[in-house]
Chains A and B, each alone.
Chain A
């Protein structure tokens, strides 16, 4: 079939002989392990560099000698002032301007109006309904605490990202410096950069806001630079001919043309902000995340699920609103209409808000629903959870025994048995096979850095858990994705489920998983799989749905069976997209395995958790980078593979 031509390795493919040689060498090292000197089995002590001490020295220098602390604290003071303003308006913290809190009904009406204006009545119902749910469930105060931080962090990220993105597009040097920094920043576990924030900024809402900004800014920079780079020359030329100055060209021509990408960046920023809601509460972000952790600590699963639902709903609403904004086309009205005919939503909003303010004075329930009178669905959720756990308990007890005895312990022993020199060679071989000597150097370098960091054994435990989890997730994710891609409606539903699972706070998974499997690696793997399967399902579905219908038709006409169609046409065509899913799945697993330290692990995550509670910047950074390098090595391999394939 002609399709096979497409998967043939391109001419520029690296020579496989050297890769085979490296693999062979690695195999020899493994076979002769008993005779190897100790220095080839575990990284020897003299090889290990005191990175943590160096980082700490630099930080102490920055903080004490350079007085950077005064600067960061001043910046934090400014952020805090902004936070106080939003906090006052949204939930009535006693700070300037002392206007708030807004009644919940006013906020809900405003959100509904925004929905109606941007996306019609469905979005209005979703947005208004979400905020009504929050109020009725008695979570108003917490949700507003969360939103008061996001309302500062998101705009801050967007503006910073836009400026840095423009700089990266305009100046090559900036792009060159930013690119690796962003790569590392996006693969660094959250806890790693929370530690320096605690040192430089302190704890509290301001620290939460700043950590959220740091976490959410990279996609904005990326998307802005990408969008600007994609602006067609003809458009710029037309602008130039119109006599635009360089600044006008940027503001009136380039940025509007790159609008779609920039708005995707805005959307990403908001999603990242919501992803940080729970984690940032470790360093003092108030609101839903903090409440969620408190409730989990007291094992109140039903109530935490309620909060989880709220976080998902807020994410969905903000996502849909920003997307609708991105899609929105300028409206043109027929002449001769009065302004209120042109802006019916604005008028309705103004009237409804005035009415709501007035009614809230008379009926306090429209201003705030007290916790005591709030609804709760916690009891049925707890009941269902309890029943499910009882029901599946025999199965999970067996599964726990089976996986631990026959899969996890042997795997773990095997990976600990392998000499580190053999692993290094094997990784380099994989690099060589995929991208030639450059890739071999890059991925080998990443892994070698982990070896000299002194955390080799723990890093290998992380590798084993992530590796096994991703394999398990693939067993679930690929078939589900293939199944979902069979029909458009089904695919849409599956993507919605993926969105939900992805925004649902991962901490909530940890408790049921411990109840089912106990404190051990099985529980960790199960929690990670739940999270890691999502991108696999998503990208398999997207990839298969994206295959050109003409191709499928052509294959059907030439008499391909359904199975042949899937294996020989659809899957090969969708493979690049599916590999993006694999890449993301590895990243998600790395993040989740770190969070799973709260179940109890013996990997990098456990040490990272320790570093956070001891505020040890150096150790935290080294561990964080070790995790990031694992992710970057995989990322590099998959990307080079896709590039070669496309070439």
Chain B
């Protein structure tokens, strides 16, 4: 946009036929397939809304779009095989491993990168601070481990982790940092929220696994525990990190990526849609807003996507050019 606006009127006029011809040629060449673009949706709201938002943009281009609900780990295999076309939220922490594995097998590639950072780590709701004022420092947390004790963990504090298949290495972290905590793994994100909601009723101190961007931030304000800063190699090289002889003696990366993945066949089959997809980029506040429309305002994901698109034309209209 900025580049064309620098051209003088005369130049634009003289170039106009060229532009039109080029765009016509482009259109003829970039005829998208009539087959529906299959967008996989998972079980958290920002992803669903974002999928619908991008899907509605595609529909605006004249494409047909279908949504299919899938497991968030198995989806990369589905994209590789072309059963699904793209994935709008590839989290470094949660899905980096599955995504990288699928990349190596081929059939899938990175189509874009959101202007957002993701973070996943130990987290507590603000009321916890009353019982443990030294937070968010991890040493302070360790000092008041007894506050987090439960019948099943005995004297030790309980850290409620995510499902084991998220592969978060919390137990290794506890061991490396010699913390007075026991890791208990919840079986699903829903179980995490249920514990959190129950803890809120009588303001029980609780420390759980959480991530951002996430709807929970809006419902339960809280903070991440500050562990020793992540350094590359902290998980493999004992020398890196707080202690010279331990691995996982650090927090998780505080600035993980959030990417967009696409099937290798997409650029050829739906070139126009693919061109738009490459430009798609959302920020943390925008993603949180999408989640909020559903989780707090109680809208349906489809309606939330339409509402978001209507309110934020300035964000996405430029992607179409």
Chain A interfacial positions (CB closer than 8 Å to B): 94, 198, 202-205, 281-286, 290, 293-294, 296-299, 371-372, 386, 389-390, 393, 400-401, 404-405, 409, 510-512, 514-516, 518-521, 596-601, 606, 609-610, 612-615
Do the beta carbons of B71 and A203 come within 8 Å of each other? yes
CA distance A511 to B45 in the complex (A): 18
Do the beta carbons of B69 and A298 come within 8 Å of each other? no
CA distance A599 to B45 in the complex (A): 20
- Chain A hits for B152, CB < 8 A: 404, 409, 520-521
Q: Which of B77-85, B263-271, B279-287 contacts A (4 or more CB under 8 A)?
A: B77-85
- Chain A hits for B295, CB < 8 A: 298
Do the beta carbons of B191 and A598 come within 8 Å of each other? yes
A294 to chain B, nearest CB (A): 5
A-facing mask of B34-77, CB < 8 A → 1, else 0?
Answer: 00001010011100100000000000000010001111011101
Do the beta carbons of A514 and B74 come within 8 Å of each other? no
Do the beta carbons of B73 and A514 come within 8 Å of each other? no
Do the beta carbons of B184 and A600 come within 8 Å of each other? yes
Do the beta carbons of A297 and B190 come within 8 Å of each other? yes
CA distance A294 to B193 in the complex (A): 13
CA distance A420 to B27 in the complex (A): 71
- Chain B hits for A614, CB < 8 A: 73, 165
**CB closest residue in chain B, given A513:** B194
| Cβ-closest 4 pairs across A and B | A514-B194, A600-B187, A515-B198, A598-B187
Do the beta carbons of B300 and A515 come within 8 Å of each other? no
- Chain A hits for B255, CB < 8 A: none
CA distance A29 to B123 in the complex (A): 48
A-facing mask of B136-180, CB < 8 A → 1, else 0?
Answer: 000000000000001110000000100111000000000000000
Do the beta carbons of A613 and B43 come within 8 Å of each other? no
Do the beta carbons of B194 and A299 come within 8 Å of each other? yes
Chain B interfacial positions (CB closer than 8 Å to A): 38, 40, 43-45, 48, 64, 68-71, 73-75, 77-78, 81, 83-84, 150-152, 160, 163-165, 184-191, 193-195, 197-198, 201-202, 215, 294-295, 300, 303
Do the beta carbons of B201 and A609 come within 8 Å of each other? no
- Chain B hits for A612, CB < 8 A: 71, 74
A128 to chain B, nearest CB (A): 26
- Chain B hits for A281, CB < 8 A: 69
CA distance A304 to B260 in the complex (A): 31
18 contacts between A and B (CB under 8 A): A198-B74, A202-B83, A203-B84, A281-B69, A284-B69, A294-B43, A294-B48, A386-B201, A510-B190, A511-B191, A514-B191, A514-B198, A519-B184, A598-B190, A598-B191, A600-B185, A610-B165, A613-B165
- Chain B hits for A596, CB < 8 A: 187
CA distance A290 to B163 in the complex (A): 20
Do the beta carbons of B73 and A389 come within 8 Å of each other? no
- Chain A hits for B195, CB < 8 A: 514-515, 518-519
CA distance A538 to B160 in the complex (A): 38
- Chain B hits for A613, CB < 8 A: 71, 73-74, 165
- Chain A hits for B164, CB < 8 A: 606, 610
- Chain B hits for A404, CB < 8 A: 151-152
CA distance A281 to B189 in the complex (A): 17
CA distance A614 to B71 in the complex (A): 10
**CB closest residue in chain B, given A607:** B164
Do the beta carbons of A283 and B70 come within 8 Å of each other? yes
**CB closest residue in chain A, given B48:** A294
- Chain B hits for A609, CB < 8 A: 163, 165, 187
- Chain B hits for A297, CB < 8 A: 43-45, 188-190, 193
Q: A390-B201, A515-B197, A519-B195 are in contact. Are A296 and B190 (CB under 8 A)?
A: yes
Q: Is the interface of A mostly helix, strand, loop or mixed?
A: helix
B214 to chain A, nearest CB (A): 11
CA distance A282 to B43 in the complex (A): 10
A469 to chain B, nearest CB (A): 17
CA distance A615 to B300 in the complex (A): 30
B133 to chain A, nearest CB (A): 24
Q: A286-B69, A606-B164, A609-B165 are in contact. Are A597 and B48 (CB under 8 A)?
A: no
Q: A202-B78, A203-B68, A281-B69 are in contact. Are A294 and B186 (CB under 8 A)?
A: no
Contact of A598 among B48, B64, B188, B193 (CB under 8 A): B188
Do the beta carbons of B215 and A298 come within 8 Å of each other? yes
- Chain A hits for B201, CB < 8 A: 386, 389-390, 393
Do the beta carbons of B81 and A202 come within 8 Å of each other? yes
**CB closest residue in chain B, given A403:** B151
CA distance A299 to B201 in the complex (A): 14
- Chain A hits for B83, CB < 8 A: 202-204
**CB closest residue in chain B, given A404:** B151
- Chain B hits for A606, CB < 8 A: 164, 185, 187
- Chain A hits for B74, CB < 8 A: 198, 203, 283, 612-613, 615
Q: A202-B83, A613-B165, A614-B165 are in contact. Are A299 and B193 (CB under 8 A)?
A: yes
Interface centre among B69, B81, B160 (most CB of A within 10 A): B69
**CB closest residue in chain B, given A516:** B198
B298 to chain A, nearest CB (A): 8
Do the beta carbons of A371 and B191 come within 8 Å of each other? no
**CB closest residue in chain B, given A205:** B68
Do the beta carbons of B165 and A204 come within 8 Å of each other? no
CA distance A514 to B193 in the complex (A): 9
A421 to chain B, nearest CB (A): 30
CA distance A382 to B118 in the complex (A): 32
- Chain B hits for A198, CB < 8 A: 74, 77
Do the beta carbons of A600 and B191 come within 8 Å of each other? yes
CA distance A596 to B83 in the complex (A): 30
A409 to chain B, nearest CB (A): 8
**CB closest residue in chain B, given A293:** B43
- Chain A hits for B185, CB < 8 A: 519, 600, 606
CA distance A298 to B301 in the complex (A): 13
With A284-B69, A599-B187 given, name 12 new contacts (CB 8 A).
A204-B38, A282-B71, A290-B69, A297-B193, A298-B193, A389-B198, A514-B198, A515-B198, A519-B160, A598-B188, A599-B188, A599-B191
**CB closest residue in chain B, given A405:** B151
**CB closest residue in chain A, given B300:** A371
A77 to chain B, nearest CB (A): 12
**CB closest residue in chain B, given A194:** B71
CA distance A612 to B72 in the complex (A): 11
Q: A404-B151, A613-B73 are in contact. Are A393 and B187 (CB under 8 A)?
A: no
**CB closest residue in chain B, given A401:** B151
Q: A516-B198, A519-B184 are in contact. Are A203 and B70 (CB under 8 A)?
A: yes
- Chain A hits for B202, CB < 8 A: 393
- Chain B hits for A284, CB < 8 A: 68-70
Do the beta carbons of A294 and B163 come within 8 Å of each other? no
- Chain A hits for B38, CB < 8 A: 204
A301 to chain B, nearest CB (A): 9
